Chains A and B, each alone.
Chain A
């Protein structure tokens, strides 16, 4: 398969990249690792006039953390998160999710920001970021703005980014020192490298045995990654009893909007959501309790 012809620029500064987007708007497509875009180009589902490769722009990759925030540069590769053992202490769900994305070869090139901007409803990072209540930092030539996680995904392969913007960073709020947190990502896939049949991201914070906040993100069961708000609200402020967990799982399954397809029926996928939320919450709560 051969992509349609396009012009290619590989700017070496962010300003240069933003200038190109201002100039070319919708005719341009930003490429980071290329693991989502290149298949689209090859299938000619996308045929932009210009590809802006941000692979040579410095300062867009890496993981930084202070007391309040964990920052992930947009071009941080999946493998970088997979191998960063310091995350086990700070935010274990990130490594757990990273190693379930596609396969090791794709993880060596694919990036967190690229995957999020591609906004495939079956993408894994979207659910993780929704569960973590992450914010998305977008830069354009005219400035910078922050997009709340819940507003980022607008539909299949569609985000709140304007054509002149680049996602530069993902910001994850860190649990306060008094609060114990835990998170997990569960993914059902037919084989390594397949898209999720269903994925569920769960993140909880406990204060004195009560759920302070709960985040639940759903993969491949709707027009985009979904935030299961009613399930989250059913837990917050409550003691995480078996009944409360079961109720949250039921609400999350209700919020899922899966389709019948080769990976399973809609009814089956809804039930996987229910089981995964239940299992994920149990795991996340156990983690949060164990983490002092």
Chain B
């Protein structure tokens, strides 16, 4: 079956089997490997992607269900060298250790901040309650999201201010 999606702003069309899971479509066919497969049983949230702006588990969705929809993966967060405030937050507040859960955590954080620009610790913990960090680094993840909220507010107040890329070169 033909599937056509917009992923990270780009239109992609492919021929897939109906049984192909969205996460396998993203990783194996579109070669976007920032989306991780953790438990593969809808428990851990490592495979989180944004579907029309809302976080969902791509291991528990068929690629054909995404036909005509808009997807964002972790690769879509940065704009060139400019990191998304959520990425800066995770970098500056040490929001990751092994990094396996990080793409899912950051996408959940992005969606949260779009609905709620200034979330409380409880609201952040509620939002990430479907995402498991196997390093148990939740304290810093929460701090990172709070930091991202502040950064986002600063950027909104001064939209032309240059933002230094926190990480340069290499794979991110």
Contact = CB atoms under 8 A, between A and B. Distances in A.
Contact of B60 (A7, A8, A10, A39): A39
Contacts of B42: 35, 38-39, 106
Contacts of B108: 104-105
A8 B41 CA distance: 22
A41 interface: yes
Interface string A1-23: 11111111010000000000000
Given A42-B40, A104-B130, A105-B45, A35 B18 contact: no
Interface in B47-85: 48, 51, 54-57, 60-62, 64-65, 67
A117 B108 CA distance: 29
A53 B65 contact: yes
Interface core residue of A2, A10, A38 (most chain B CB under 10 Å): A38
A283 interface: no
A160 interface: no
A4 B61 CA distance: 15
Band of interface residues on A: 20 to 34
Given A7-B18, A51-B18, A34 B65 contact: yes
B48 A105 contact: yes
A109 B18 contact: no
Interface string B6-35: 000000000001110100000000000000
Interface string A50-78: 01010100000000000000000000000
A27 interface: no
A34 B48 CA distance: 15
A104 B61 contact: no
Contacts of A2: 19, 21
A77 B131 CA distance: 20
25 contacts: A3-B19, A4-B19, A5-B17, A5-B19, A6-B19, A8-B62, A35-B42, A38-B42, A39-B60, A42-B21, A42-B40, A51-B18, A53-B62, A103-B45, A104-B129, A105-B45, A105-B108, A105-B131, A106-B60, A108-B51, A108-B56, A109-B56, A109-B60, A193-B43, A193-B130
Interface of B: 1, 17-19, 21, 40-43, 45, 48, 51, 54-57, 60-62, 64-65, 67, 108, 126-127, 129-131
